[in-house]
Chains A and B, each alone.
Chain A
Amino acid sequence: MSAKKVTQMRRLPGFGLTLGFTLFYVTLMIVIPIAALLFKASSISMQELVETFKTPRVQASLRLTFGASLLAATINTFFGFIVAWTLVRYRFVGRRLMDSLIDLPFAMPTAVSGIALMAIYAPTGIVGKQFLAWGIKTAISPLGVLIALIFIGFPFAVRTMQPAIEELELEAEQASASLGASRFQTFLRVTLPSLIPAALTGFTLALARALGEYGSVIFIAGNLPMRTEIASLLIVSRLDENDVVGACAIAVVMLAATFVLLLTIQGIQWRIERKTGRN
């Protein structure tokens, strides 16, 4: 190949083909469907919107969805940290098994998780029976929704904190100890602050997943209107009633909430990059 030809070819071959196919596929499969929802949502009048969100049933469902999702994400961040810390720092029998099991909620189809959780926490289930003896209903109650959301969000919390703990600079802990800090002081003042961005990212990812979750929740929730009906289920029932406008109104609110959360993650990541870049 002549030198002239090489300088002419500034690009590897395949640019037009691969980019063309990528754009075509992305447009057809992702962009047009999202555009369809936004277009439909923009045609909803203010009055229809108010009417949808004024009903107590929708309000109760949004309260439950956001409340249970926030609580589940908080619990997941707390236990996720303990589990991630244990898996990274300690060595014990069964550690590798535990580590590979963390991803189970990702790998398991949500409907399968749903009926399994229901079987465990139903009044006749092995855990549900125990709680019922104390007068606590674990299934067909808001608590059931919470349990399912903890299950589904757990891997996000662990998997975002694990690499952060692995990359902790041990020198900083040593320096802190050599300056006379106790192990607990070091942890509180040196270790924990540097894990906050990862914890926040994990929290937000778990929250975003919980807000849109459907399959693993609907079995254990029992779907009682006003009590245990999550927003995703309400969208489905609106569709069953042929109320497409109502379904779109709820969907757009949930979608907007998710996007705000994802932008928050981007912001956190951007801050981390800027910080580490400066060091």
Chain B
Amino acid sequence: MSRNSGLSQASRDPKWVQWILIGITVGFVTLLLILPLGVIFWEAFRKGLKTFTIALSDRNARSAIGLTLLATAICVPLNMVFGLAAAWATTKYSFPGKSLLISIIDLPFAISPVIAGLMLILLYGIHGWFGGVLQGFGLQVIFAVPGVVLATIFVTVPFVARELIPVMQEQGSEQEWAAISLGASAWQTFTKVTLPNIFFPLLYGVLLCTARAMGEFGAVSVVSSNIRGLTNTIPLQIDALYNDYNAPAAFALASILASLSILTLLAKSWLESRIEHRSKESEEIQ
């Protein structure tokens, strides 16, 4: 297992260099990453479990949790279906403009969340392209729940597609062709052949999408009116509590999201090892 012993003399650094670099790494990671993580839980539980439970049973905190779950529940399935469709369309066929389409799918990652929120205001605000018409039907988007949902969708569009496209590109379509020629329907081919092959990357993409959807702050804060108990998501509620000098309650909510991100990291290393394992297996079969 140890690769270091596998390194030849020429590629092995002197012991003292190793010690210094390991020291810098451990120090830097501890100061930059472990310390903030520790501080969140320390601040959340410092005043005892009671302050923690009171903070979470607060009406506005509950409503923020509810809105975050609602936005995530709408956003993740939509982006998952989109990711599957986009990956299928861009890896199973060739058509002009395909690489442009893939670049456009990646764009939300490059756009600052605040600018994303601004774009939605230009579209769905009262003076926006669609805002006036929708207002006529009595549907308010900006400074209301639909705006929060749209902002969440925008920042998470690429997650599933981006995980699936390289994997499906590599797998090719031979297995699908085999299934079709044996008489399977399109749907059967997709569910019985394609889906099992992309299960772990799909799960990974959905996981990343969920984590980001629950934690988005910048885009959502621009389009939300920040009304407590109404259009506040968990990150917005954290912001509001912190600005009220109610740090213990802010950290209590933050510790929930921080636990979720630790869970994401754990699941990520597990899924990555699964994906590696699978690709090794399929190499052996071939």
Contacts and interface: CB of A to CB of B under 8 A. Distances in A.
Given A36-B123, A174-B8, A255-B115, A112 B257 contact: yes
Contact of A151 (B11, B32, B43, B113): B32
Q: What is the interface residue range for chain A against chain B?
A: 35 or more
Contacts of B35: 120, 126-127
A86 interface: yes
A115 B215 contact: no
A110 B254 contact: no
A246 to B, nearest CB: 11
Contacts, number: 278
A113 B116 CA distance: 20
Interface in A101-149: 101-105, 107-113, 115-117, 119-120, 125-127
A82 interface: yes
B33 A102 contact: yes
A186 interface: yes
Contacts of B92: 11-12, 14-15, 18
B215 A259 contact: no
B258 interface: yes
A258 B112 contact: yes
Interface in A151-203: 151, 154, 170, 173-174, 176-178, 183, 186
A37 interface: yes
Given A79-B24, A83-B25, A104-B37, A30 B268 contact: no
Contacts of B269: 96, 100
Interface residues of B, number: 99
A186 B10 contact: yes
A108 B180 contact: no
B238 A19 contact: no
Contacts of B82: 21-22, 25
A36 B265 contact: no
Nearest to B21: A86
B112 A239 contact: no
Interface of B: 2-4, 7-14, 18, 21-22, 24-26, 28-29, 31-37, 39-40, 43, 81-82, 84-86, 88-90, 92-93, 95, 101, 104-105, 107-108, 110-116, 118-123, 128-129, 153-154, 157, 173, 176-177, 180-181, 183, 186, 189-190, 211, 214-218, 221-222, 234-236, 238-239, 242, 247, 250-251, 254, 257-258, 261-262, 264-266, 268-269
Interface of A: 1, 6, 9, 11-15, 17-19, 21-23, 25-26, 29-34, 36-37, 40, 79, 82-83, 85-87, 89-92, 94, 96, 98, 100-105, 107-113, 115-117, 119-120, 125-127, 150-151, 154, 170, 173-174, 176-178, 183, 186, 208, 211-215, 219, 232, 235-236, 239, 244, 247-248, 251, 254-255, 258-259, 262
